[in-house]
Structure 1
Amino acid sequence: MDSGHVTTPFGRRSMTFAVLARQRQISKSAPDTKRNKWKLFRAVCEAREALNVSDRSLSVLDALLSFYPSEELYAANDLIVFPSNAQLSIRARGMTAATLRRHLAALVDAGLILRKDSANGKRFARRSRAGEINEAFGFNLAPLLSRAKEIEDIAAKITADREFFQATRERITLCRRDITKLIQLAIDGCVEGEWSQLHDRFRTFLASLPRRPSLDELQFLLSRLVDLRTTIIKLLDGHDKMQNMCARESQNERHIQDSQTQSSNESEAEQEAPPTRTCGSPANAEAAKKEHLSVNEALVDPLQFLKPAVALDTVLRACGEIHPYGPGGSIRSWRDLLTATAVLRSMLQISPSAFHQACLVMGPENAGAAIACIFERGGQINSAGAYLRDLTRRAKQRQFTIKPMVSALLRSKALTS
């Protein structure tokens, strides 16, 4: 669109400053901008709440995009589609004319399309004798393309927040399981302590969570559960050390008694007397110790592997290429890093299942750092998805952490600088 050209609406529809600003925005967009229309549409669907667009309006946008002949939306081309209401209604799943008009107006208000009305308000195209379109009147898809980067950033942030939300819920589930089984172990093993009060605290923490919690509320609950779980483990470890000391003292006492001369009657009496076992006896202590060790082996702390293994600023120094993909072109927190990796995953063709498994094994922050390192290495890795799955498999076997990977990138940068 020429910088001096402005299209005003037909009929009773009035011109607004918002429409004028969008037309100016289109005129200033880069002419080499292009996007796959269906990938861009999926990004709009992901960001629909932030864009204030309903699902019915998205159905109309889907129908409008189907009338554009090419798969690629290219800023240098004419992005105007001109279907009649009857054709548009058929592709919008039989939507009535009144509903269709309402949702078309909603798309215009959301800044995703613009009207280019003819003199009589009809939608049509003028063609040359060769059949090429010289001028068209209808709906302009250029606003959708000019806002592509903004829409993709919003969609990436929503995707990253959703995945981080899911990972936090899974970490809470693991912590809940650990607390429940460790308290049950303490009760069954007759470990001294205020276990009923600890269990009541545990239930109070869970009851404080609303039915539809936010991410911040989940993270707060997770921190409280981790602290409670750490307290329980310390109590069990203290009990375990005490039992070991009692067992050693008992063995030393029996050794001293056996070294003394005893009469045959006393020996026979001691042999006939059955051993009395109580909750604190060495035999029960040894059994409780074995059970405690077996449960601790089964409940190896999953959260110690889910915490960030490297500081965020270290990751950002090693992976400078990821900065432009963060919200607003910068990364200031782990959440910003995960937002950036949500964009990079589609570029690197990493499937959601591969990233989800990496989050479960390594933690979302470490998984995001791994993707940043993979992106930084660029052409050295043939298949980013397969490489991430291999890192996940090695991390599950405790054969991989992100720290050496980041350190190697820092060393290579130091050598080239």
Structure 2
Amino acid sequence: MTERLATTPFGGGRMRADIFSLQRRTTKRQEAIAAGHGGNNSGQADKWELLRSLADARGHYGLSDRALTVLDALMSFHPQRVLDGRTPIIVFPSNHELSLRSRGMSGATLRRHIAALVSAGLLLRRDSPNGKRYCRRDGDGQAEQAFGFDLAPLALAANEIHAAAEQVRAEAKAGRILRSEITLHLRDLAKTLEAAQDAQMAGSWGDYASRLESLSGRLSRAADKTGLIERRDALVRLRAEVENAYFTALEPREMSACDAENERHIQNSNIDHPIETRQVQTETKPSAVYDGTDKRKNTGKGEQIALTTLLSACPTIRDYSRDGITCWREARGTAELVRSMLGITPSAWRDALETLGEISAITVIAAILERAEDIRSPGGYLRDLTRKAQKGQFSIHPMLNALRSEMQ
């Protein structure tokens, strides 16, 4: 065991209160562990795990990445992987060798970063009478006295370093979650405003767009948690206003119109399509949305579908409605929103409405939403169905039957 000597710096260096305090704290911790009063602090730590944690928590200790490079070099002179701080851990590299292992740092730079490690309470200097670093050994080659840098304070502070690293990682994770929420709110707001402006809905969409622009600035990597929360909350409030205005613009002027529409379509809910049903059984695959291809001439335009039939086959579209879907007008408004969120362009939607008819176009959007994970390009899929309808090769009922059969 090496004897602990040298509590004052060599040469013109002055003894500082923080250094003296670190020396006393190190000694007391070692004595407490030796007496069995160290609690959960064993005084031992894997040096490379400790270095990784310190890299995450370096801001907490006021250290730069280059200071960690110097510490990495110092630890490389200790042959064991485990640092045992119960006794002094003194390494005594020459300036030349320390510079080589520190990626060629100059002497002045090394001294500056070593001073930072000492100030952080992770390193102690044990200077010899002449300021040199060396080790005296006995006849058996065992170290009797060593002068250099003591890594014991680093090992004794392992619990605090790991805890600080966990806190930094948790804060970083919370920041990533906040940033992702901000990105999603920005995207959904932009697409909702685009849908409203494309449909020429009545409302103060220009004002909403201006407010969105003011909240769309670049997120700085150094942005603190408070700033991120404030921006997220502002976007949540704006999104609530925009969605409320969007659905208000879609509301029918008379609720009775919805009831009348619903009743008209329910009357046709029992239409039987035996030929189309047989096609579903032979041509569909459970994992995909059947595209309604039919060899008979059928554009799909004007096909009668009950709203209840649509909602039973494609229930997911309800999740995007404001207050539920009780009529086809509310279904169209919801489909408009879903269309925008799926990335389907207004021109593709207009072509579908013109070729398929309103009810079939709404149904196709609901079906695409139901199988969004299986469809790589919703816009391209809708255009493909529209082209088939123009050739008379599309019917909406086989698509619905395929979806309903998958749910059973």
Match of 1:193 in 2: 203
State which of 156, 169, 190 in structure 2 corresponds to 1:146. Answer: 156
Match of 1:15 in 2: 15
CA-to-aligned-CA distance 1:153-202 (integer Å, 9 cap, x gap): 22222222222111111110101111111112222333322111111221
Report SS of the residue matched to 2:148: strand
Letter in 2 for 1:24: R
Letter in 1 for 2:189: I
Distance 1:26 1:109 in 2: 14
Whether the 8 Å contact between 1:209 and 1:217 is mirrored in structure 2 is no
- Which is further off, 187-196 or 290-299? 290-299
Distance 1:73 1:252 in 2: 77
Is 1:157 matched up with 2:172? no
Show structure 2 runs of 5+ residues with no match.
Answer: 35-41, 266-326, 344-408
Letter in 2 for 1:130: D
Superposition map of 1:314-353 within 5 A: none
Match of 1:107 in 2: 117
Report SS of the residue matched to 2:239: helix
Letter in 2 for 1:15: M
CA-to-aligned-CA distance 1:267-286 (integer Å, 9 cap, x gap): xxxxxxxxxxxxxxxx9957
Match of 1:394 in 2: none
Deviation (angstroms), 1:211: 8.3
Whether the 8 Å contact between 2:195 and 2:340 is mirrored in structure 1 is no
Match of 2:62 in 1: 52
State which of 106, 111, 118 in structure 2 corresponds to 1:96. Answer: 106
Match of 2:84 in 1: 74
Distance 1:39 1:254 in 2: 71
Whether the 8 Å contact between 2:26 and 2:156 is mirrored in structure 1 is yes
State which of 124, 129, 139 in structure 2 corresponds to 1:129. Answer: 139
Is 1:177 matched up with 2:177? no
Deviation (angstroms), 1:54: 2.4
Whether the 8 Å contact between 1:83 and 1:138 is mirrored in structure 2 is yes
- Aligned alpha-carbon RMSD (Å): 3.4
Report SS of the residue matched to 2:216: helix
Whether the 8 Å contact between 1:79 and 1:142 is mirrored in structure 2 is yes
Match of 1:24 in 2: 24
State which of 216, 219, 225 in structure 2 corresponds to 1:206. Answer: 216
Is 1:289 matched up with 2:333? yes
Letter in 2 for 1:22: L
Deviation (angstroms), 1:42: 1.7
Whether the 8 Å contact between 1:80 and 1:136 is mirrored in structure 2 is yes
Shift in CA distance, 223/119, structure 1 to aligned 2, threshold 3 Å: same
Distance 1:187 1:71 in 2: 65
Tell which structure's C-alpha radius of gyration is larger: 2
CA-to-aligned-CA distance 1:378-400 (integer Å, 9 cap, x gap): xxxxxxxxxxxxxxxxxxxxxxx
Letter in 1 for 2:333: K
Report SS of the residue matched to 2:78: coil
State which of 26, 33, 49 in structure 1 corresponds to 2:43. Answer: 33
Distance 1:292 1:228 in 2: 20
Shift in CA distance, 291/60, structure 1 to aligned 2, threshold 3 Å: same
Distance 1:241 1:221 in 2: 30
Q: Compare the two structures and name the one with the higher helix fraction.
A: 1
Shift in CA distance, 152/253, structure 1 to aligned 2, threshold 3 Å: closer
Distance 1:129 1:54 in 2: 42
Match of 1:226 in 2: 236
Shift in CA distance, 223/297, structure 1 to aligned 2, threshold 3 Å: same
Deviation (angstroms), 1:212: 4.8
**TM-score for both structures, normalised by structure 2:** 0.59
Shift in CA distance, 6/85, structure 1 to aligned 2, threshold 3 Å: closer
Whether the 8 Å contact between 1:209 and 1:221 is mirrored in structure 2 is no
Letter in 2 for 1:8: T
Distance 1:92 1:26 in 2: 26
Report SS of the residue matched to 1:134: strand
Aligned-pair identity (%): 39
Distance 2:262 2:159 in 1: 75
Distance 2:200 2:27 in 1: 77
Shift in CA distance, 38/243, structure 1 to aligned 2, threshold 3 Å: farther
CA-to-aligned-CA distance 1:206-252 (integer Å, 9 cap, x gap): 35977853221111111111111122222333344426836436659
Report SS of the residue matched to 1:206: coil
Letter in 2 for 1:214: D
Deviation (angstroms), 1:127: 1.8
- Which is further off, 186-195 or 203-212? 203-212
Distance 2:216 2:157 in 1: 42
Deviation (angstroms), 1:102: 2.9
Match of 2:53 in 1: 43
Whether the 8 Å contact between 1:108 and 1:114 is mirrored in structure 2 is yes
Shift in CA distance, 12/253, structure 1 to aligned 2, threshold 3 Å: closer
Distance 1:241 1:82 in 2: 80
Superposition map of 1:204-283 within 5 A: 204-207=214-217, 212-242=222-252, 245=255, 247-248=257-258, 251=261
- Which is further off, 99-108 or 207-216? 207-216
Shift in CA distance, 290/25, structure 1 to aligned 2, threshold 3 Å: closer
